[in-house]
């Protein structure tokens, strides 16, 4: 058996070489994750804009039938998405308006949602469907509707966050009594906080919103 001299043994990696490889791997992973997040945000924004347009069409039909746009009840009710709290009253109302499944989230209504489309009113957007009991048990998610902790349904944006909605309360002279809550001169507002990780009303944060008065 021939013993190789120590200087002939293959050299191992030095600490600097190992750290360099780890750094490169980390950078590649970060770039890959960043690219995935960018593509996901782009898709979510596109879906959100499309959903706002669909909601607006439904609201116009609702106004034609009822003489006015709906007003949401339970505006301060909240739901939690990824440990972040969001107002859900407007999104719950939008679901009921679009599906005719209950009207307790609409001012003047008194029928709770039961998962049956058209059970208490006209269906304005047929593609908006709640999860069935089997889907709930299997933890399958619907693309436009999610479920609140109390079992009620609400409309969601492309990031699966509840849409925000508010009706401008105008008097006979077109003065808005809740002007401290609205952001435009429209009769109502629908918006998504977009890719923001926390809901925020700050002017800089509003640049990330996707809205019915300026969706782009």
Least confident of 45-49, 63-67, 73-77: 73-77
Q: Is the pLDDT of residue 216 over 50?
A: no
Pick the closest to residue 51 from 180, 150, 192 (CA basis). 192
33 has pLDDT over 70: no
For 6-15, 46-55, 132-141, which range has the lowest pLDDT when averaged over its residues? 6-15
Residues 23-28 have a mean pLDDT of: 76
Distance of CA 110 to the CA centre of its chain: 26
The predicted structure's pLDDT at residue 181: 92
The pLDDT of residue 43 is 96
pLDDT tens string 79-119: 999 999 999 999 999 999 999 999 999 999 999 999 999 99
Compute the distance between CA of residue 76 and CA of residue 79 in angstroms, rounded to an integer: 10
Phi-psi category of residue 191: left, alpha or beta, with phi > 0 → left and psi -120 to 50 → alpha: beta
pTM of the entire predicted model: 0.83
pLDDT of residue 152: 94
pLDDT more than 90, % of the chain:
69
């Amino acid at each position: 058996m021939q013993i190789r001299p120590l200087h002939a043994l293959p050299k191992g990696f030095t600490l600097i070489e190992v750290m360099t490889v780890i750094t490169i791997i980390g950078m590649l992973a970060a770039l890959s994750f960043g690219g995935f997040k960018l593509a996901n945000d782009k898709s979510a924004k596109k879906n959100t804009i499309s959903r706002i347009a669909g909601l607006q069409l439904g609201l116009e039909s609702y106004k034609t039938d009822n003489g006015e746009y709906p007003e949401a009840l339970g505006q301060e009710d909240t739901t939690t998405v990824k440990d972040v709290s969001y107002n859900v009253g407007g999104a719950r109302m939008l679901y009921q308006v679009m599906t005719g499944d209950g009207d307790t989230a609409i001012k003047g209504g008194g029928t709770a949602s039961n998962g049956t489309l058209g059970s208490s009113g006209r269906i304005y957007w047929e593609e908006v469907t709640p999860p069935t009991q089997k889907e709930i048990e299997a933890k399958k998610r619907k693309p436009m509707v999610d479920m609140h902790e109390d079992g009620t349904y609400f409309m969601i944006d492309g990031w699966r966050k509840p849409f925000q909605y508010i009706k401008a309360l105008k008097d006979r002279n077109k003065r808005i009594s809740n002007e401290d809550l609205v952001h435009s001169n429209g009769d109502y507002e629908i918006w998504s906080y977009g890719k923001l990780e926390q809901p925020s009303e700050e002017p800089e944060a509003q640049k990330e919103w996707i809205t019915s008065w300026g969706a782009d």
